[in-house]
């Protein structure tokens, strides 16, 4: 096993202060029914958990940015909880479930949060040491577009009124960024300027979103936004113009590494792919034992043809 300390002295940056896993749009149906009759939604989430556990990465939290279920059914939530929670427990990670437009507030509360079946927005604010993680609820019961009520924005304003030592990451389903995928702008978060007014000038340093089913990154009110692709199917951003195409491939999740002055988002493909190149632990150990100069010679110098 490669130890972080061994790698750290080979890099200009140290280890991140926090590691979070960002997963989105799992879209489970009841009774293990395949999504659109074609997608095994459970398989990619199981595979993602297997990959994470095998990696040795020990995230502090797994954040699911909404559309956990496709039709908000009890069994969908029970099943994903049965896959995710044991894996999270073994990794020592908390799980943050964020509401999406396909989710049902009351059933999320009962099946995922062990709460009463209230239909108020599902919002929460947790701490990972000095870092604050806030989950907003952009869902509108009965609709697929996103909204944040005046009450929820006031709650957020109140939370952010007190800064925390390492700043805040906000997780929500409908990301406040443009998309050129056909029809998706109809379903975007409405009145985004209201959220911008609340976030601007606070300690929010990252926004995690979902909903779009493709990995994309932007800025909102000066804050970096990162959207994780879906685990169920991938929206084709390069589809033939005017066409909306969900692809049965390219599923991924993201690793979010929080440093003191920046956050790094890295996309991880989900799948059991063949390893076609790489170096083993013994090789890394040999390089770690070298001086920085010898390391450059051993690893950076072009091989002679
Ligand atoms: Fe979705
Ligand atoms: Fe969505």
Q: Ligand 1 centroid vs 248 CA: distance in angstroms? A: 14
The number of distinct structural domains making up the chain is 1
Q: Ligand 2 centroid vs 59 CA: distance in angstroms? A: 25
Q: Ligand 1 centroid vs 67 CA: distance in angstroms? A: 5
CA angle 119, 124, 126 (to 5 degrees): 160
3-state helix, strand, coil in the chain (%, to 5): 30, 25, 50
Q: Ligand 1 centroid vs 93 CA: distance in angstroms? A: 24
Q: Ligand 2 centroid vs 99 CA: distance in angstroms? A: 9
Burial class (CB in 10 A: 0-12, 13-18, 19+), 233: buried
Residue 5 falls inside a structural domain: no
Residue 9 falls inside a structural domain: no
Residue with tokens 């044991």: 86
Per DSSP, what are the bridge partners of residue 235? 246
Residue 286 falls inside a structural domain: no
Yes or no: say if 65 and 100 are a contact pair by the CB < 8 Å rule. Answer: yes
Q: Ligand 2 centroid vs 84 CA: distance in angstroms? A: 20
Residue 295 falls inside a structural domain: no
Nearest ligand for residue 69 CA: 1
Extract the residue ranges of the chain whose pLDDT is less than 70.
Answer: 1-9
Q: Ligand 1 centroid vs 16 CA: distance in angstroms? A: 30
Residue 41 falls inside a structural domain: yes
Q: Ligand 2 centroid vs 292 CA: distance in angstroms? A: 48
Residue 2 falls inside a structural domain: no
Nearest ligand for residue 24 CA: 1
Q: Ligand 1 centroid vs 25 CA: distance in angstroms? A: 5
CATH number at residue 169: 3.60.21.10
Q: Ligand 1 centroid vs 128 CA: distance in angstroms? A: 27
Q: Ligand 2 centroid vs 241 CA: distance in angstroms? A: 22
Range of the domain at 215: 16-276
pTM equals 0.96
Q: Ligand 1 centroid vs 213 CA: distance in angstroms? A: 6
Q: Ligand 1 centroid vs 171 CA: distance in angstroms? A: 15
Q: Ligand 2 centroid vs 219 CA: distance in angstroms? A: 20
User: In the chain, pLDDT over 90 holds for what percent of residues?
Assistant: 94
Which residues contact residue 71 at a Cβ distance below 8 angstroms, ignoring those fewer than 6 apart?
Answer: 29, 30, 102
Tell me how far CA of residue 276 lies from CA of 55, 238, 273, in angstroms: 17, 27, 9
Residue 153 falls inside a structural domain: yes
Residue 104 falls inside a structural domain: yes
Q: Ligand 1 centroid vs 96 CA: distance in angstroms? A: 17
Whole-angstrom Cα distance, residue 25 to residue 39? 13
Structure-token pair, residue 163: 């800064």
């Amino acid at each position: 096993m490669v130890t972080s300390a061994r790698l750290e002295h080979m890099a200009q940056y140290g280890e991140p202060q926090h590691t979070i896993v960002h997963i989105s749009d799992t879209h489970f149906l009841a009774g293990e029914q395949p999504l659109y009759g074609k997608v095994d939604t459970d398989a990619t989430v199981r595979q993602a958990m297997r990959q994470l556990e095998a990696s040795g990465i020990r995230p502090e939290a797994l954040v699911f940015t909404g559309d956990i279920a496709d039709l908000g059914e009890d069994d969908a939530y029970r099943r994903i909880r049965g896959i995710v929670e044991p894996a999270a427990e073994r990794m020592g990670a908390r799980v943050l479930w964020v509401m999406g437009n396909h989710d049902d507030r009351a059933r999320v509360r009962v099946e995922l949060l062990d709460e009463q079946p209230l239909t108020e927005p599902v919002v929460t604010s947790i701490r990972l040491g000095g870092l604050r993680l806030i989950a907003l609820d952009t869902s509108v019961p009965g609709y697929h577009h996103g909204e944040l009520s005046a009450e929820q924005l006031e709650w957020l304003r109140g939370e952010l009124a007190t800064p925390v030592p390492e700043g805040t990451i906000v997780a929500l389903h409908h990301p406040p960024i443009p998309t050129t995928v056909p029809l998706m702008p109809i379903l975007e978060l409405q009145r985004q300027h209201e959220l911008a007014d609340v976030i601007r000038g606070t300690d929010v340093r990252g926004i995690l979103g979902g909903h779009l089913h493709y990995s994309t990154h932007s800025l909102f009110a000066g804050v970096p936004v990162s959207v994780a692709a879906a685990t169920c199917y991938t929206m084709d951003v390069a589809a033939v113009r005017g066409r909306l195409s969900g692809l049965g491939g390219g599923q991924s999740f993201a690793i979010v590494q929080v440093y003191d002055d920046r956050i790094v988002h890295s996309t991880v493909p989900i799948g059991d792919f063949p390893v076609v190149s790489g170096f083993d632990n013994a090789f890394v150990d040999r390089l770690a034992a070298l001086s920085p100069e010898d390391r450059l010679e051993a690893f950076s110098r072009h091989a002679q043809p």
